[in-house]
Chain A
Amino acid sequence: MIEVRKLVKRFGLKTVLRGMDFHVEPGEFVALIGPNGAGKTTFLRILASLARPSMGEVQIAGFQLPAQAAAVRRRLGVVSHQPLLYADLTAEENLTFYARMYGLHNIEKRIAAVLEMIGLTNRRRDLVRTYSRGMQQRLAIGRAVLHDPEVMLFDEPYTGLDQDASAMLDDVLRTVAARGRTVVMTSHDLARAEDLATRFDVLSRGVIAASATHEDLGKDNLLSFYKKALAGS
């Protein structure tokens, strides 16, 4: 579903990604973990077609980036630590706006279904600025799944959420993933990542330093695997 070969990203003279290879099968839930400044957010922004690769190949759902960006964007849902929502619009209006931007039909039905899924049907007429952080993040996910994307990218979705809100987000994430979507998530929360993901990739110094599935981990927990991977890179 996602195929990245020898990806290099430079910001001026600074090289953030150094010939990174990355591959995701359809339906996989990959947690991308790594220290700050390893290039996780940069990498997700490239996958999301928000940043251009300096070198290398990126292919999502069979479409090349950046050449076929529009086709990729149609199949992509992105949730970042910022909500990407307008505070002075209601939940319903925000979703209506994005539905139009994605050229969806039957907007009302689709929005009702999404609001139901994220548990915000009762508050759909309230301004987003009155929402709690957790509700905003759920609405952000609702926004991201509105066009039923095949691939979803989550950039630190748990930032700033309390326990309840995080638990709620877990449920939503599971539902989203359960539809056979391909998911790539960056997270600092190793326990959550271990819980949700089917595969763990450690991004360090601009390359994937190690990769493991639940089976590979065996009795080892994710934390010790992560530490080993960083020590080895």
Chain B
Amino acid sequence: MQPKPRFLSVLDIVSVILLAVATYLALVYAPTEKVMGEVQRVFYFHVAAAWVGLLGFVAAGVTGIIYLRTQNLKWDIIEQAAVEISLVFFFIAIVLGSIWARPIWNTWWTWDPRLTTAAIVEMIYLAYLMLRQGIEDPDRRARFGAVYTLVGAVSVPITFLSIRLFRTIHPVVIGSASAAAEGGFNMTSGMKTAFFFALFAFTVIFADLFWNRIRLGYLAQRVEQLKLKVMQ
């Protein structure tokens, strides 16, 4: 068995430190927003989590295509890792978004295009996991998974577009239509620091988790291999 790469261990530690610093910047360093108050601080991690979810989503679609072209199970492991990370981070983003929405829009949930699309991505990825669970043959499982992520990757932008179109024609989702009511605000320089640092920190965390998950996938595969060897 190959030992854990040194660089990965370093990255683990760096990720934890970055997360701590980002938390400090978001909760303490950044100035309190005038209209929305303290709850606006959720925004930094909310956007960062959604950003990671999006990274995972794109990675899953791309690796799905690469898998179909190469038929190499390595890409299936990577695709699955991307899907799982995307699933978790979109979930975090949705929860944080709801926490933000409650006091600002006076509702836990709004059918905002971004929020709704994130929820649909969650549905697609849950369906993806259920599809995989129902198939024994690893090659077929990988092929079906790749086809489905590809279909999902193409349909989600269209869904986003159609929900957006839906809203522009029917603009009655949230109270008044002014920018402030929709939760828009101008960022001060302190906020910008916290915001961009959170984005950076989460990107590093994404890379770290992605790598760890891929490594886990390989190890799981190795366990299967050894099991087969023992059985024969």
Contact = CB atoms under 8 A, between A and B. Distances in A.
Interface of A: 10-14
A13 B228 contact: yes
Nearest to A205: B232
Given A12-B138, A12-B139, A12-B224, 8 more contacts: A10-B139, A11-B137, A11-B138, A11-B139, A13-B138, A13-B224, A13-B225, A13-B228
Nearest to B226: A13
B137 to A, nearest CB: 5
Interface string B104-115: 000000000000
B65 interface: no
A137 to B, nearest CB: 27
Interface of B: 73, 137-139, 221, 224-225, 228
B228 A14 contact: yes
Main secondary structure of the interface of A (DSSP, over half): strand
Contacts of B138: 11-13
Nearest to B138: A12
A22 B137 CA distance: 26
Contacts of B221: 13
A14 B225 CA distance: 8
A8 to B, nearest CB: 13
A12 B225 CA distance: 10
Shortest 9 CB-CB contacts between residues of A and residues of B: A12-B138, A13-B225, A11-B137, A13-B224, A12-B139, A13-B228, A14-B228, A11-B139, A12-B137
Nearest to A52: B71
14 contacts: A10-B139, A11-B137, A11-B138, A11-B139, A12-B137, A12-B138, A12-B139, A12-B224, A13-B138, A13-B221, A13-B224, A13-B225, A13-B228, A14-B228
B137, B139, B225: most-surrounded residue (chain A CB, <10 A):
B139
A11 B139 CA distance: 6
A10, A11, A13: most-surrounded residue (chain B CB, <10 A):
A13
A12 B228 CA distance: 11
A172 to B, nearest CB: 33
Nearest to B227: A13
Contacts of A12: 73, 137-139, 224
A10 B221 CA distance: 14
Nearest to A12: B138
A11, A12, A13: most-surrounded residue (chain B CB, <10 A):
A12
B145 to A, nearest CB: 13
A111 to B, nearest CB: 35
Contacts of B139: 10-12
B124 to A, nearest CB: 24
A9 to B, nearest CB: 10
Nearest to A15: B228
Contacts of A13: 138, 221, 224-225, 228
A11 B228 CA distance: 12
A142 B73 CA distance: 40
Contacts of A10: 139
B164 to A, nearest CB: 41
B221 to A, nearest CB: 7
A11 B140 CA distance: 9
Contacts of B73: 12
B201 to A, nearest CB: 37
A12 B221 CA distance: 10
Contacts of B228: 13-14
Contacts of B224: 12-13
A93 B228 CA distance: 46
A12 B143 CA distance: 11
Nearest to B73: A12
A10 B225 CA distance: 12
Nearest to B224: A13
B229 to A, nearest CB: 10
A14 B136 CA distance: 12
A14 B140 CA distance: 13
Contacts of A11: 137-139
A105 B32 CA distance: 81
B139 to A, nearest CB: 6
A67 B151 CA distance: 27
Contacts of B137: 11-12
